[in-house]
Structure 1
Amino acid sequence: MHQLRRRDRRPARRVPSEPPRRPAFRLTAGGADVVLVGYFSAKQKDFDTLMAAAATELGAHGARVLAQIVQRRGVSDGGVRKMGLPYSSRTLLTYGKVREVAQVCDRTDADAVVFVAPLTKRQQRTLTDILGRPAVSLTDVLAAD
């Protein structure tokens, strides 16, 4: 009698189900209170003007920027070699900076957190879970209109 090969005896792999989709964050007509977060390398000397331009863009779309937080990369000797990489692939920022953003969001009762740098879907999910409010990139907010 024919015996099944080992791979034929294995159970079929389960395909993971997709996580539930969250609706995209949209600025309401009355405006949303947001915290603006920037992630810049030390080579980028004009990060203040980039943050001001992002705040102006958000204001033009009806948002009120309650606070601005900046994470710099490459200021120390060890960071210079890794300047192009995020601090964390899960959150883009350091753990301490994420805690600081969460505290500012709680203190100001912000509706959302807008990042100047583009975020991956995983980073958006992780930051939204940690911060307790939508975490989106500036390009997503501007493209939604």
Structure 2
Amino acid sequence: MANVIHGANVVVAGLFSARRKDHVEAMDELEAEVTRLGGLVTARFVQRRGVSGKGRVRGGAENMDRPYSSRTLMSTGKIREIADACVRTDATAVVFHNDLTDRQRRALSEIFGSAVLSIRELKEERRANG
């Protein structure tokens, strides 16, 4: 996995509940982890869940800790922005602060045309390799 990150342009992303006040620090941690493994962060995306709603879409407290999509984790618009950044910055990996299901990883990898990982995987890799 480190070989996927080392020397690569990497986009980082995170979905955070509005309840979580440390999302900036969490993204800084993610960026630092990518840098420790030799990657270059070329773009950074945060989506906050429960910060504001649009129109009559149900949101609120009952949905704040849930992903926007079971398939892609984030909203369609945010996924499009990340995909555009992958192309624009020639990124070969996208690392999420969130844990991902196998289904999400496959779908996102197909959409982005790059490897998709989570911070947990990066940390496990670093611990395993010292």
TM-score band, normalised by shorter chain: 0.7 to 0.9
Instruction: State the TM-score, normalizing by the size of structure 2.
Output: 0.86
Using CA pairs below 8 Å that are at least 6 residues apart, which structure has the higher relative contact order?
Answer: 2
- Number of matched pairs: 121
1:39 and 1:116 in contact (8 A); partners too: yes
Q: Runs in 1 of length 4+ with deviation above 6 angstroms?
A: none
What is the CA-CA distance between 1:80 and the residue it aligns to? 2.8
The change in CA–CA distance for 1:106 and 1:79 in structure 2 (over 3 A counts) is: farther
The change in CA–CA distance for 1:133 and 1:52 in structure 2 (over 3 A counts) is: same
The change in CA–CA distance for 1:75 and 1:126 in structure 2 (over 3 A counts) is: same
Uncovered stretches (5+) of structure 1, i.e. residues with no partner: 1-24
Structure 2 residue aligned with 1:138: 119
Structure 2 residue aligned with 1:107: 88
What is the CA-CA distance between 1:79 and the residue it aligns to? 3.6
Uncovered stretches (5+) of structure 2, i.e. residues with no partner: 54-58
Instruction: State the TM-score, normalizing by the size of structure 1.
Output: 0.77
> What is the RMSD of the two structures over their aligned residues, measured on CA atoms?
1.6
Q: In structure 1, how many angstroms separate the alpha carbons of the residues matched to 2:4 and 2:106?
A: 21
